[in-house]
A and B are shown apart, each in its own frame.
Chain A
Amino acid sequence: MPLAIGASGAIKPYVKYNSKADKWFVRAEGGGDQEIARPTFLMDLKNIRTGWLRFLEGQAPERVIDPALDRVAPNPGQGFKRGFVVNCYSPKFFGGLVELASASIHTSNAVRDVYAVFEEQAGAVENRGKVPLIACTGSEPMKDKYGTNYRPKLELVRWVDRPAELPDASPVEDDEVWKGAPQQSQPAAPSHVPPPAARPAADPALQTDF
């Protein structure tokens, strides 16, 4: 059995969106970033994880992942920002399975919005066991005190069968998940889930195949 110490030298393939430049990058074969076109890809939103991320120049990213989507880990310290980690898959744009992790407010907002659409559609019987195909169709300039940044426009195009290359698994390692004491001293009383509202008929536009 190998010893789990030292550096493995392996870097997980990634995709990232530079919100200052409105550009997408993947890891180039020889290292460094390689720009790609606006991608269309499978995003494993079912297994997305949120947490605190810190990206410092010249250092490996640090992250403290929330124990659950509805349980936020405490802020680990200065420089950490709220973000997410999700596995994405596209042989064409990414060369296969990659990780998208970001603490950018604009990217996070875009992912939060497309996640809301995902949640709305995930329960439909025709989407059972499937993963959403997401297209980046453009970007929106966002002016703030740091100048102009861009928010990618992410659209849930349709649902497809989960490919074997995109396992139904967490994108983070167990040791990245915060395991401190619960913030409350007593467990919260279980809360009743009300009956679901009647569902509107499916929007035919969402069924468009492109």
Chain B
Amino acid sequence: MSANAFSRHGIAHLSASSLNLWAAQPALWIMERLLGRRSPPGITAARGKAVEAGVNAGLVDPAKPVEVCIAEAEAAFDRETALSGDPRRSDVRAKLAGWVRGALAELRQYGPPDDDGYQARIEIRLDDVPVPIIGFVDWRFSNHGLIVDLKTTERFPSGISASHGRQGAIYAAAHGNYGMRFAYAKPSAGKSEPRQVLVLEMSGDEVRQHLAALRVIALSLGRFLAVSSDPRELAGLIVPDFDAFWWSDPAVRAAGRDVFGF
């Protein structure tokens, strides 16, 4: 595949989130990634980033009191959501302490992560895909040969989802023999489930399967982009599913109406 399909649209690299979005909601991908109509990060993304910041503070400095880490998470959340009108904002903020406390209790048992392991940029190549796939790992624990990605959640998943699996496969592929783990943290333990953090590890076969899927998805995107160098023309080839939760934010829905005409 020629690099032109991507470069003609100014795409120098892909990522798990980009390919997952293309796979799930191609219309939203076109709107955000080609037409530049990106919506501000939602409250869930802000929550994840804030908890991650607080947990990282406590991992890098194992002696740092948990309350200080929580304060750092809250400060990060406040910065991130300063202009957010989301009605869930105060509820989510109140739960940050629980997420940070639970995740730290679990992940401090791993010891400190690598000095350069937090949000380290990684890059891999997929066969026949002319642009690299990049990502940023949460933490790398080289002492244990592990990559760990933190996910904040309200309830534990029944397994590693395909979208998380693809993200993890990219991280794992960039790190040779490292194990890839996802730590799913809840704000508090449940009545029937005393655990607050569930850690799941990807198998080598899962990594391979997701990499194969990523390649197929990236090739599909490349073929689509090759159809035209006009993003508007490409947008005219796809019909959005506005019932999907991706479009639930009124601002996103309004932009969708503007781009797709209904």
Interface residues of A (CB under 8 A from B): 46-47, 67-70, 122-125, 127-130, 170, 187, 189-196, 198-199
Contact = CB atoms under 8 A, between A and B. Distances in A.
Label chain A's interface by main secondary structure.
Answer: loop
Contacts, number: 68
A190 B176 contact: no
Contact of A46 (B156, B157, B158, B204): B204
B177 interface: yes
Given A123-B177, A127-B176, A190-B157, A69 B204 contact: yes
B210 to A, nearest CB: 13
A162 to B, nearest CB: 9
A128 B198 contact: no
A39 B225 CA distance: 51
Contacts of A195: 106-107, 109-110, 199
Contacts of B160: 190
Given A124-B142, A128-B176, 20 more contacts: A46-B204, A47-B204, A68-B204, A69-B205, A70-B203, A122-B177, A123-B145, A123-B178, A124-B145, A125-B145, A127-B176, A127-B177, A128-B145, A170-B208, A190-B200, A191-B200, A196-B110, A196-B141, A199-B143, A199-B144
Contacts of B205: 67-69
17 contacts: A47-B204, A68-B204, A69-B204, A69-B205, A122-B177, A123-B144, A123-B145, A124-B142, A130-B176, A190-B156, A190-B157, A193-B200, A195-B107, A195-B110, A195-B199, A196-B141, A199-B144
Contacts of A46: 177, 204
A69 B203 contact: yes
Interface of B: 106-107, 109-111, 141-146, 156-160, 175-179, 181, 195, 198-201, 203-205, 208
Contact of B158 (A129, A187, A193, A194): A187
A70 B195 CA distance: 25
Contact of B179 (A70, A123, A129, A194): A123
B176 A129 contact: yes
B153 to A, nearest CB: 13
A128 B177 contact: yes
Contacts of A68: 203-205
A125 B158 contact: no
A170 B107 CA distance: 33
A198 B110 CA distance: 8
B157 A122 contact: no
A102 to B, nearest CB: 21
